[in-house]
Structure 1
């Protein structure tokens, strides 16, 4: 038993947390390769390494997955201080390199010298698609404003399909339930953010983040763009790029008369907060959401105006109304605070009131007997109410 426990303890030394072992980097200059301050790590690695997010068989494991900042040319290196087979016979380590290669493009560098030589071609890289929006963010460390641009790309753009294969790899590390999309489906729209920066008098571009949107058909002649994936890469998070991207996309679809509204697929809590911020910002400029209208309560006029002018549906309009009304309510004023609380209470208890109303109970009883409010129920050919 003691021998077994000793062996288990020895084998445990060869387990590595893959979220720590995987080192990601966006490389602009050759010196970035040795600069640990530019390295970041995944939030998730379970899709490749299991729910425990552990790789077995190595000490000091480091999986270097470096990308050029613009074109995302990929370098993969696997390093470790020792391997289990060096000390223990008949025990095989995990093939971590093969697991990583399952999700990265086949044409990836495994040689640092080749990767560095490709960095010299970054000056030729230009964003894909058409420019939608340009904005600036003040960088405190650099003491200057940095320019960013948002583009809408098509899969038909030369080189974009290969670029997208490299870009989507990041989804696996930062979205818990991420999956790769079918790029042959023409209903997908692609939106990208790039940073503009200078090197030796040349203008270069670095990838900041992106979003994919699927255009669902809505009978009879409308579409409903649904945000599927959205990612701002870690070096750029917390600078407001997500809000800029989402607002730019809203403004893009506003020009399409066949778009009914804009939704999201299984939104995360952080995305919902971002959407609330963008919706509230957009709705503040509408007459129906002015402070004097907000205090009068949620109205049909609000629903109509946000649907027509901002492609926001009723459910989200109600949410924005509550946010903006709270923003414009002096909660230290007991009368105003009570009025706002009652407004929220009415929305929360409304469905339960309807559920137990005499009319609802009457319909339930009547329907159980084979009747509807319009007369006896037909057994065939009756459309649902």
Structure 2
């Protein structure tokens, strides 16, 4: 509570304000591998969002020192749920009710979670029995600079009918509420869903165990007459593993999986976030740079139907995304210090950026024949050429920044 807000309160309101807690801070998440991690604050992480449960202000009223513990065993995600606090509003004030913070959590976690640390420890001891679900698609290593060693990861394709997976998925999807702003749970009974999971292999007391790293859900839409279009619905790499390249590995593995299915038209994404678009740019550019039509010699010649066809047939990339990949890879081979080459590239990208505006202008020209004078004046003002050029240049510079970031990552890879 800021001082300016407190200043306008009467004494009672100030006292009650002390019982407000930021739910993003109060919710403590943990993926537990070893018993001593249970009380290790360094392994705790917090949500990015909690508004879907606790409102837009992400505040819980009625407690001091509120801590909502949601601890999971690293592999099977068996769950410990506790609510702790140092004081409750009802202990000081009559007729003031605290928020039902526990009830809100129970709306999203499946039944069967434990509330006792001892019970949770018993479940942790059974982690050796947990094995990844589904079919192994890909194995890869990541070098951890801080620890000076390589860690091994696996990507699996899973069907909901896999024994035990439905219950596991109910626990896994609770993370969506904390890290995807508009997340919702899916209907797993629909057999058009595909699930892809990432696991880390690690050693505990001489045994090989597996920890959950992240996952992706893909829905297979029907495309007339006999094809499908997989659409990425949800993708999440859990916070302890973010920044290590697992998202790119997962998306690439998913594209390679669908490449082997002749009935797949192309792969899309549902309402992609800005971060997902950046990830997709990198993965698709990495894949398409291996195609003959995207060779360094052919890129300066412009975008072609052959590029679109080869990207779709080889990696299930649709035409819109193939065009974006072409622009990224052409920028990589273009000497932007050469004014003529830089101009050619700029005009090529701007033509694509301006195309929707040009289409709108043609439609507006048709409409103008039917407009009253005051409506015509309004539409003409919207077509200011100078403003359009400024906006186009701004969009172009933003695109260049995005593309250069992808090119830097490609160089590192």
TM-score normalised per structure 2: 0.85
Separation in 2, partners of 1:153, 1:130: 6
Change (3 A) 1:262 1:332: same
Alignment pair present for 1:181 and 2:147 = no
Cα shift readout 1:13-49 (whole Å, capped 9, x = no counterpart):
1000000000000000110011111000000101110
Counterpart in the other structure of 1:14: 19
Counterpart in the other structure of 1:375: none
- Superposed counterparts of 1:140-219, under 5 Å: 140-219=145-224
Alignment pair present for 1:94 and 2:99 = yes
- Superposed counterparts of 1:1-385, under 5 Å: 5-353=10-358
Change (3 A) 1:3 1:308: closer
What is the deviation of 1:258?
0.4
Separation in 2, partners of 1:279, 1:323: 10
Change (3 A) 1:354 1:131: same
Q: Per the alignment, in what secondary structure is the counterpart of residue 183 of structure 1?
A: coil
Cα shift readout 1:314-366 (whole Å, capped 9, x = no counterpart):
10011111111111111122221111111112222334445556x9978998x
Change (3 A) 1:95 1:336: same
What is the deviation of 1:95?
1.4
Q: Give the gaps of 5 or more residues in structure 1.
A: 366-385
Cα shift readout 1:240-269 (whole Å, capped 9, x = no counterpart):
000000000000000000000000000000
What is the deviation of 1:51?
0.7
Separation in 1, partners of 2:327, 2:164: 45
Separation in 1, partners of 2:9, 2:48: 34
Separation in 1, partners of 2:358, 2:34: 64
Q: Per the alignment, in what secondary structure is the counterpart of residue 208 of structure 1?
A: strand
Q: Per the alignment, in what secondary structure is the counterpart of residue 76 of structure 2?
A: coil
What is the deviation of 1:105?
1.0
Q: Per the alignment, in what secondary structure is the counterpart of residue 146 of structure 1?
A: strand
Q: Give the gaps of 5 or more residues in structure 2.
A: 1-6, 370-413
TM-score normalised per structure 1: 0.91
Separation in 1, partners of 2:76, 2:144: 23
Separation in 2, partners of 1:85, 1:203: 49
Q: Per the alignment, in what secondary structure is the counterpart of residue 65 of structure 1?
A: strand
Aligned length, in residue pairs? 363
What is the deviation of 1:141?
2.2
Separation in 2, partners of 1:348, 1:51: 35
Counterpart in the other structure of 1:373: none
RMSD: 1.9
Change (3 A) 1:92 1:330: same
Separation in 1, partners of 2:19, 2:133: 44
Separation in 2, partners of 1:216, 1:364: 39
What is the deviation of 1:296?
0.5
Runs of 4+ that moved beyond 6 A: 359-365
